[in-house]
Copies of this chain bind each other. A is one copy, B any other.
């Protein structure tokens, strides 16, 4: 009964409701200036852009619209990465000639254009997103330049898929885009096969994902050593050596926010909901 866009929005809401998700805002935890209700508001605000994507409007424009809507709250960046990761999945699920599968989503990625890349860059003007400095040969394409970078995109003829490919070695979202959304679909399966409340399954999926792979947002925010340590700690939590609630307190104290892992959970929840997961 829910539309594809509604499932995408609901996935954003269920993601933030899952607890404990060590280091992130969740049902039981706020950061100082980034609170739970900012995520609720961001999810509602993203609605129109998600609807556009499900209706087959251009990926870049849909993303730009979703991020503008998401940013209409005072917490700042709540779900930029989650929406970016969801978007090809939403397009695939909404399209008549595609399927919500690794192949279907990859076909969406491969069909992106230079205009989509421009929309992606424009979205950075709506909200502050933490990113690393780009490699020297990509300075003209620094996402923080927003629409100022569009002429360089056009000159080089870079599609959104090209942009993602260039970031895939250091950004977990971009890697999913180019790798067939492998981790997303894997997490969706674990959520679908799980038991108990959906938000609890989302929290479990978060810990599994973090234990399996370094969170690139933590690398950006701190450094690789910190991110590797965070992943080791998540593994310890999975092994029962530390209570996830205590790990949450530990990450908060160290200001470790595995945001890319949370984004992956949001995308996985979307896949699971589209496939019929009941809440």
Which A residues are closer than 8 A to B by beta carbons? 1-2, 6, 9-10, 13-14, 17, 27-28, 35-38, 40-41, 44-45, 47, 68-69, 72-74, 197-199, 278-279
Contact = CB atoms under 8 A, between A and B. Distances in A.
Contacts of A6: 44-45, 47
A9 B38 CA distance: 14
Q: Which 3 A-B pairs have the closest CB atoms?
A: A13-B40, A41-B279, A1-B72
Contacts of A41: 10, 14, 279
Contact of A44 (B2, B28, B69, B72): B2
Copies of this chain assembled into the complex: 2
A76 to B, nearest CB: 12
A175 to B, nearest CB: 29
Nearest to A71: B1
A14 B278 CA distance: 23
A37 B9 contact: no
6 contacts: A2-B69, A2-B72, A9-B44, A17-B36, A37-B279, A40-B279
A6 B47 CA distance: 9
A37 B197 contact: yes
A70 B17 CA distance: 18
A189 to B, nearest CB: 20
A77 B28 CA distance: 24
Contacts of A68: 1
Contact of A199 (B36, B44, B45): B36
Contact of A73 (B69, B72, B279): B279
A198 B212 CA distance: 37
B37 A199 contact: yes
Contacts of A278: 73-74
Contacts of A2: 44-45, 69, 72
Contacts of A74: 278-279
A2 B1 CA distance: 23
Contacts of A47: 6, 47
A6 B49 CA distance: 13
Contacts of A35: 197, 199
A51 to B, nearest CB: 10
Given A1-B72, A38-B279, 17 more contacts: A1-B68, A2-B44, A2-B69, A2-B72, A6-B44, A6-B45, A6-B47, A10-B40, A14-B41, A17-B36, A17-B40, A35-B197, A35-B199, A36-B199, A40-B279, A41-B279, A73-B279
Nearest to A26: B27
A14 B1 contact: no
